[in-house]
């Protein structure tokens, strides 16, 4: 067999295109993609696809009947999505688009003489199979204020909307992932192709045996690694078999013809020759399956993206799986209450964001009716983040001003999410004259100061006898705390500092023994160092 080809098109981009088609994406040639955006390289929406999908996935329910949205409403919805406020900055524009995609657009329609407002949705988040998924390559987009173009390697579309932008690199070049990220960042500059990134939700950098992901506006140092977490050896084996099957499933003749129509014949011969052997799965394949398969892409986009103080953030893998495990646990009622527990994620791994995303997951879960969610932190600045997150949940967020006010909010029939500071929560617990017996009360506690308040203050059990408590901590539990935590469900998930260092999510600490004057003992002085310096 000939040595493997290390051309970028052969080793990274083509395998990615094949894998994505096997995930359910329909391939569009560069010419077809350009035609679907009206022949304009300055446009990035596949407008004809979008129009057809808006008509397909939207229906008006009225007095037992089902009606279509008018063509004027469909066109108004398209125009609203095209009206991207880039003059306000990339992240502001991206957030405006995100709100449209997740909330939909209110349209006035007259049905049988009755004029009312109905919501037009751009994506069917509840039934992924109702959407259409396309991909194209070398997506040529005209740069702002220029006749020149940038061409991202691969773009993925949902209902004609570009949600994923992918850059592929050869694995044998120097720092291929860094080079791919650099292209993403260049594309997002004012003289780049910001319009495309105003719609994007996930950005991927691939280099066969390495990969990283982020979202719009993410600086290079915050790009993340993804690791699919398995609950058992059998699940891990099934994961491997699934990847291998997708990797080695041949494309249909029509797909092959489309994929290689604009390529030299030898490229197809090389690709077909490689397909004669069972190909091992790569890191690139794992990322495409984990982040881009249709159900996961929609889940990540709707449930695991947050805008925080001018920055857009997408969940890291430990946050995603911790929330999934927690939701599986607390959905079930056991003897009249739900099991909570502890999420132990090391400092710097984003546990405050995990808490906000978990609260959102509880609020949106259909299996839990009318939940009362109380978020207990020691950070006033979380309130804005929490408020923005819950816009798409259609739930108000109320801040408890005092312990007494918190008790009033807990006693009300409102389904608002309540935020409070930990000392006010302690005051409310101590002042409560009667217990709150609902099993649908969820108390999410940031246990950043356990030494002051004690994890899972035992008096909470008296005030909320059937409540579900989830504590978030950045340090290991002491023996006494473990015993207390067991009463509330025990450990749910952990992400240690060793794991965080391995993922390059935090930098390791080097401890140097330093002699202290007038003493025989030594103390430890911590010096933060970069991961790279450890290998020197």
Q: 457: pLDDT confidence band, cut at 50, 70 and 90?
A: low
Of 125-134, 144-153, 472-481, the least confident: 472-481
pLDDT of 525 > 90? The answer is: no
Q: Give the pLDDT confidence score for residue 319 in this predicted structure.
A: 96
Q: Answer whether 213's CB lies under 8 Å from 226's CB.
A: yes
Give the residue among 64, 28, 65 at the shortest CA–CA distance from 48: 28
What is the average per-residue pLDDT within 252-278? 86
Q: If you write DSSP's letter for every residue of 157-210 in order, what string do you get?
A: EETTEEEEEEEE--TTSSSHHHHHHHHHHHHTSTTS-HHHHHH--EEEEE-SS-
Residues 6+ apart with CB under 8 A from 293: 23, 24
Count of CB atoms within 10 A of residue 534's CB?
11
Q: What is the pLDDT of residues 74-83, one digit of tens each?
A: 999 999 999 9
pLDDT at 228 exceeding the cut of 70 = yes
Question: What is the average pLDDT across 408-421?
Answer: 86
Q: What are the structure tokens assigned to 406, written together? A: 């918190």
Nearest 5°: CA angle at 495, between 491 and 501? 160
Work out the pLDDT band at 241, boundaries 50, 70, 90: very high
Burial class (CB in 10 A: 0-12, 13-18, 19+), 52: middle
Nearest to 359 by CA among 225, 505, 468: 468
Average pLDDT over residues 175-179: 97
Averaged pLDDT, 38-62: 96
110-114, 167-171, 338-342, 421-425: range with lowest mean pLDDT: 421-425
Specify the CATH number of the domain 315-501: 3.40.50.300
Residue 536 has pLDDT above 50, yes or no: no
User: Which of these ranges, 110-119, 205-214, 448-457, has the smallest mean pLDDT?
Assistant: 448-457
In this prediction, residue 476 has a pLDDT band, given cuts at 50, 70 and 90, of: confident
CA angle 492, 510, 530 (to 5 degrees): 85
Band of pLDDT at residue 224, cut at 50, 70 and 90? very high
Does 392 have pLDDT greater than 70?
Answer: no
Q: Say yes or no to pLDDT of 519 above 50.
A: no
pTM of the model: 0.89
pLDDT above 50 (res 250): yes
* Lowest mean pLDDT, pick from 5-9, 219-223, 298-302: 5-9
* pLDDT at position 458: 62
**pLDDT tens readout for residues 393-404:** 667 888 888 989
In degrees, rounded to 5, the angle at the alpha carbon of residue 274 between the alpha carbons of residues 270 and 280 is 145
**What is the mean predicted confidence (pLDDT) over 25-46?**
97
* Sequence ranges of the domains in the chain: 315-501, 504-535
Q: What is the pLDDT of residue 535?
A: 30
| Per-residue pLDDT tens digits for 90-140 | 999 999 999 999 999 999 999 988 999 999 999 999 999 999 999 999 999
- Give the pLDDT confidence score for residue 204 in this predicted structure: 98
- pLDDT class for 509, splitting at 50, 70, 90? low
- For the chain, the average pLDDT equals 87
């Amino acid at each position: 067999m000939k040595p493997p080809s290390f051309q970028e098109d052969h080793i990274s981009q083509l395998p990615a295109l094949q894998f994505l088609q096997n995930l359910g994406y329909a391939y569009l040639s560069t010419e077809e993609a350009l035609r679907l955006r009206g022949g304009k390289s300055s446009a990035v929406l596949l407008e004809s696809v979008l129009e057809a999908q808006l008509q397909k996935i939207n229906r008006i329910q009225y007095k037992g009947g089902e009606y279509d949205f008018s063509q004027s409403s469909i066109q108004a919805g398209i125009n609203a999505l095209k009206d991207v406020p880039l003059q306000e900055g990339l992240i502001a524009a991206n957030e405006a688009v995100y709100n449209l995609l997740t909330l939909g657009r209110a349209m006035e329609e007259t049905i049988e003489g009755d004029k009312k407002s109905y919501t037009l949705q751009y994506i069917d988040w509840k039934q992924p199979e109702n959407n259409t998924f396309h991909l194209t390559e070398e997506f040529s987009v005209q740069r702002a204020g220029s006749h020149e173009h940038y061409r991202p390697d691969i773009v993925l579309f949902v209902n004609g909307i570009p949600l994923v932008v992918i850059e592929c690199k050869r694995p044998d070049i120097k720092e291929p992932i860094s080079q791919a990220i650099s292209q993403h960042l260049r594309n997002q500059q004012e003289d780049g192709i910001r319009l495309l990134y105003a719609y994007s939700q996930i950005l991927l950098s691939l280099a066969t045996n390495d990969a990283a992901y982020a979202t719009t506006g993410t600086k290079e140092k915050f790009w993340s690694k993804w690791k699919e977490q398995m609950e058992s050896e059998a699940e891990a084996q099934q994961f491997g078999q699934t990847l291998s099957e997708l990797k080695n499933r041949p494309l249909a003749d029509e797909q092959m013809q489309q994929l290689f129509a604009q390529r030299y014949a030898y490229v197809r011969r090389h690709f077909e020759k490689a397909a004669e052997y069972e190909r091992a799965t790569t890191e690139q394949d794992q990322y495409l399956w984990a982040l881009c398969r249709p159900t996961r892409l929609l889940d990540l986009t709707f449930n695991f993206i947050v805008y925080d103080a001018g920055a857009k953030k997408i969940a890291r893998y430990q946050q995603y799986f911790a929330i999934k495990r927690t939701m599986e646990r607390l959905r079930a009622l056991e003897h009249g209450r739900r099991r909570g527990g502890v999420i132990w994620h090391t400092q710097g791994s984003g546990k405050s964001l995990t808490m906000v995303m978990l609260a959102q997951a509880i609020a949106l879960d259909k299996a839990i009716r009318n939940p009362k969610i109380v978020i207990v932190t020691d950070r006033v600045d979380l309130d804005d983040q929490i408020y923005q997150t819950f816009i798409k949940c259609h739930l108000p967020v109320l801040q408890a001003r005092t312990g007494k006010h918190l008790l009033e909010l807990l006693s009300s029939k409102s389904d608002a999410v309540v935020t409070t500071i930990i000392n006010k929560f302690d005051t409310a617990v101590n002042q409560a004259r009667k217990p709150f017996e609902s099993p649908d009360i969820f108390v999410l506690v940031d246990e950043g100061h356990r030494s002051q308040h004690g994890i899972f203050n035992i008096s909470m059990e008296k005030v909320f006898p059937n409540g579900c408590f989830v504590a978030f901590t950045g340090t290991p539990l002491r023996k006494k705390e473990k015993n207390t935590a067991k009463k509330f469900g025990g450990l749910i998930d952990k992400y240690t500092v060793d794991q965080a260092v391995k993922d390059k999510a935090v930098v390791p600490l080097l401890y140097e023994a330093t002699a202290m004057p007038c003493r025989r003992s030594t103390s430890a002085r911590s010096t933060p160092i970069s991961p790279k310096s450890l290998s020197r």
